[in-house]
Amino acid sequence: MKRLTFLALALTGLFSTMIHAADDSRVYELRIYTCHEGKLDALQARFRDHTCKLFEKHGIGNVGYWVPVDEENGSKTTLIYVLEHKSREAAKASFKAFGADPEWKAAAKASEANGKIVAKIESIFMSPTEYSPPLTIAKGDKPRVFELRTYTTPEGKLNDLHARFSNHTMKLFSKHGMSHLAYWVPTDADKGAGTKLIYILSHASKEAGLASFTAFRADPDWIKAKAESEKNGPLTIQPQAEGVKSIYMKATDFSPIQ
């Protein structure tokens, strides 16, 4: 009996670490690193061997790490990842402690013996939308690719976009074979608060993702929902290439989500 109780508690603890409810108490951070030419492998090695463990040591949750699939989106120079914090204040304190950690200082110095690795860092703090599913941090049972999508709306249109996603888009994505990871909105005005929706989907492959979107866009239910939602104008800025950004990504070998 004691053995069964212990197993149940262990499984409960594991489950709670893998699935995080989309609530207001947690803050997520999308970070995009652009490397100097030829330095992406060195950056990944530093994360694999040092950074991820030190993040966890200082209370920063590793969610997922990805590299773009296509060269035009930075397949040779870009690392995209998502972190989880208890709050903005906690994030600030955690990064301060991380930056002062002697182990981090030694790892950073050793990794940059032949020159700086990172040329640019972009950070976007985010909160989950009300319709975002619980975030499952686990490896998929089959190989998959991920797609980071960023929508920019005209002023005053973000709530209409949210309504379309919660009432129509998400169900149609599922219908056409797309899987939802999470949906977020930026929390800072200079990063798109009030005008941006950021979300990640997964597909069996990039080709499967493109085929799914082709079927989705031709679906009569989508055509009807889109037309009704845009009676007073488009919900993303035009031209569409400016309002809808897509990056197909593959998970790194050290990513908790794969």
pLDDT tens profile 203-214: 999 999 999 999
Average pLDDT over residues 109-127: 97
Band (pLDDT 50/70/90 cuts) for residue 4 is very low
Band (pLDDT 50/70/90 cuts) for residue 239 is very high
pLDDT tens profile 132-179: 999 999 998 899 999 999 999 999 999 999 999 999 999 999 999 999
Provide CATH code, domain 130-251.
3.30.70.100
pLDDT tens profile 174-212: 999 999 999 999 999 999 999 999 999 999 999 999 999
The backbone torsions φ and ψ at residue 110, rounded to the nearest 5 degrees and listed phi first, read -65, -40
pLDDT tens profile 44-80: 999 999 999 999 999 999 999 999 999 999 999 999 9
pLDDT tens profile 96-105: 999 999 999 9
Band (pLDDT 50/70/90 cuts) for residue 24 is low
| pLDDT at position 25 | 74
- Where are the CATH 3.30.70.100 domain residues in the chain? 24-127, 130-251
> Regarding the domain delimited by 24-127, which CATH topology (the fold level of the hierarchy) does it fall under?
Alpha-Beta Plaits (3.30.70)
CB under 8 A, 24+ apart: contacts of 235-243: 235/151, 235/153, 235/154, 235/157, 235/160, 235/161, 235/164, 236/151, 236/152, 236/153, 236/154, 236/157, 236/161, 237/152, 237/153, 237/154, 242/152, 243/151, 243/152, 243/153
